[in-house]
Amino acid sequence: MNTLQRMELFFLFHLEDGIKRYEVYDYDKEEVLMLCEKLCECAFESLRQMLVGNHYYKSVLED
C-alpha cells in the first residue's frame, strides 16, 4: 500500500477572511475539491484524481 494513501492530507487556502487549513482523510472533502476547482478554473472528478494529475503525486500514488 502506498504511504500517501494512509496519510492525512493538509490543504492551505488564502481566503478573503484569512488562511484556512483543511484536513482531508481518504480524499473525501467536497469543500476542498470545490476550492481547488475554483483556484485553477477547472473541474476534477475527485481530490485523488486531481493529485494523480500532478506529476509528483502521481509518482507517489502509483509506486
Show the domain range for 41.
Answer: 3-61
Strand ranges inside the chain, DSSP E: 9-15, 18-24
Q: What is the pLDDT of residue 2?
A: 52
Average pLDDT per 10 consecutive residues for the chain, totaling 63 residues: 64 96 93 95 93 88 68
Which residues have CB under 8 Å from 34's CB, separation 6+? none
Residue type, 10: F
Q: What is the pLDDT of residue 1?
A: 47
- Looking at the 3D structure of the chain, how many domains does it have? 1
Determine the Cα angle at 10 with ends 53 and 39, to 5°: 55
Which residues, listed in sequence order, are joined to residue 19 by a DSSP beta bridge?
14
